[in-house]
Every structure is written in C-alpha cells, then in structure tokens.
Amino acid sequence: MISYITRRFAEIAVVLLIVSFVCFGIFQYLGDPVLAVVGYRYANPKVIAEARQRLGLDKPIYIQYLRFLGKALRGDFGFSYTKIRPVLNVIADRIPATLELVVVATALAILLGGASGVVAGVRPHSALSRMVSVASLFGISIPTFLSGLLLIMLFAVTLGWFPASGRGETVRIGFWSTGFLTGDGLLHLVLPAITLSLYQVAMILRLVRAEMVEVLSHDYVRSAWAKGLPRVKVICKHALRNALIPVVTVVGLQFGEMLGFSIVTETIFQWPGLGKLLIDTLYNNDSPVIVVYIMFMALVISLINLAVDIGYGFLDPRICYD
C-alpha cells in the first residue's frame, strides 16, 4: 500500500511538471503581456523596455521557465501582471468561494440523487419511480448554464426570493472567508449551489437506481428476504452497501467535473471564485495566474483521484494495491 501511494505521488509530480511545461510553452505564443501591463500600445518604447526587464521577460524562454520552476518549488509563483499581487495570493483568495460552492453542491447531489435513486431502484415500476426517472432524464439534458439562467429568471427576477449575483456578506476566519455564517451569504449560495448540483443529482440518481436494481436481483438479497429480515435492513444493509461501491468512484470523479462546471456557474452568478478568475484572466492574458490555476487544478484533481482509488480499496476488500 505504501509503495503504491509513493508511486502515485511520483506520478503526480511528473504530471505537474509536464502540465507546467506545456502551460509555459503555450504562453510564449500568446499576446505580449507587457502591453497589457503598461496600457496598450500608447506607452513609449522606453517604458515598455523597462517593464519587460522588470518582469524578466527579456531573458530567453528556457531561462524564464527554469526560473519559474525554481521559484515555484520554493512556493513563489511570481506576480500577477494585472493585479500586481503575488499569484499565489490571487489564487488563494478565490479558493474558499469555489470550494464552499462545490462542497455544498456535491452534498446536495449525493443526498438528493442517492435518496431518490434508492427509491426508484427499489420499486422500478411504481408511479413515483417513473416520475423520478423522467425528471432525471430532463436533469441530464439541461446544460448547467441554461438551468442557471432559468433559475435566475424564475427565482431572482420574477419571484425575487434569492439574489442572482455575488457571494453576499462573508466572514473572515484567518485566511478563509466563509459565506456559511451569515444569512446573506447563505441566501446567495442557494441558486448557484442548486444550479451546479442539478446535473449531478440526475447522474447520481440514474447510477444508484441502476446499481440498486442490479444488486436487488442477486441471490444473497433473495436469501435476506427469505430469512424474513425487515425491509429496511435488506435494502440498507444488504443492497445499498454493495450498490454504493461504484457510486463512490463516480462521486469522486464527479467532484472534479463539478470543479469544471463551477466555471460556468460562477460566471452566471458572478460568484467570486476560481472559475470566474479563470475566465477573467483568459480575457486579459494574465499568464502567470493561468499557469498557476492549471497547476493547482492538476494537483487537486490528481489528489482526488488518488483518494478515490484508496477509498475504493477500503470499501471493497477484494481490491488490493501492490
């Protein structure tokens, strides 16, 4: 197990190295960031040259990359071109907003999707199950941005129940600014969290339903019924536990997908998280921020995948890693 985890960490390091290299390479072909800093083409050549030197952009590309890498290993990712602040701080400031949104949306998806999936799986032919199934088909057929827009139209514009943009009032605890502790912050969280979770609710529902239907047809479940065990015990203890094994993997992987779709959700709701930061920086060509964003996401997603694989081993004792 330990050697497996060590190997996976080595792999993650290699992935990050490749990712950083690719990012850095791509940016050499993008527009000149110096112009973005000194204010487009109206600056005189002297100011441009000074800015170029100050940012270290007059050195050859490989030296720029090695310098970037050397500094990165010491935790120094340089300065954002447009915000004139350390990139690490720019990214770190946005993490709480995205993480709170994604965690709440994931929890919603697991609870709603899991519960309705079990209901639909236990009695696949009842009227309720059919309704749930049709709803889930709609759920996977509506793109995130569209459900976000429709929710804004209904609940923010027409009914005025929830605010349509921003994060509301936040409380700062150490380095973490949270929206969980104020009524305003929670109110602002409702629509974005629902938007982000809708597709995943439907996904998890369909998966749990399919797994439940399959597991319930196994012999050991029939034996459990035959023993005269109570309904709840058969469904929860015998069937659900086994149905959940593949679900855990999917939920783990979906967490990464949620990070991806949070880009869309954050843009719709003007949510000040990492996704909105990415879209903003892509527009103004702030390459250091984008490189660190990509590397950060690569790290997070690799760690999630590792956690999923390890968790899988604990859930299903037949799987062993060597």
Q: Say how many residues touch other proteins, by CB under 8 A.
A: 42
Residues 19-38 that bind other proteins (CB under 8 A): 26-27, 30-31
Q: How far is the CB of 201 from other proteins (least distance, A)?
A: 15
Contact with other proteins (CB under 8 A) among 65, 145, 155, 321: 145
User: What is the Cα–Cα distance from 122 to 202, expressed in whole angstroms?
Assistant: 17
Contact with other proteins (CB under 8 A) among 141, 217, 270, 284: 141
Please identify, using beta-carbon distances, which residue of 43 and 250 lies nearer to other proteins.
Answer: 250
The 10 Å Cβ neighbour count of residue 268 is 22
Please identify, using beta-carbon distances, which residue of 102 and 234 lies nearer to other proteins.
Answer: 102
When asked if residue 43 is in the footprint of other proteins (CB under 8 A), the reply is no
Contact with other proteins (CB under 8 A) among 263, 299, 310, 315: 263
What sign for the dihedral angle of Cα 11, 14, 16, 18?
A: negative
Q: How far is the CB of 106 from other proteins (least distance, A)?
A: 13
**Residue 177 backbone phi and psi in degrees, to 5:** -100, 120
What binding mask, one character per residue, do residues 166-205 give for other proteins by CB under 8 A, x or -? ----------------------------------------
Residues 52-111 that bind other proteins (CB under 8 A): none
Please identify, using beta-carbon distances, which residue of 194 and 301 lies nearer to other proteins.
Answer: 301
Contact with other proteins (CB under 8 A) among 282, 284, 307, 319: 282
The 10 Å Cβ neighbour count of residue 48 is 16
User: What is the Cα–Cα distance from 91 to 272, expressed in whole angstroms?
Assistant: 11
Residue 177 forms beta bridges with which residues?
A: 172
- CA angle 259-129-216, nearest 5°? 90
When asked if residue 2 is in the footprint of other proteins (CB under 8 A), the reply is no
Q: Return all residues near 113 (Cβ < 8 A) that are at least 6 apart.
A: 200, 201, 202, 203, 204, 205, 207, 208
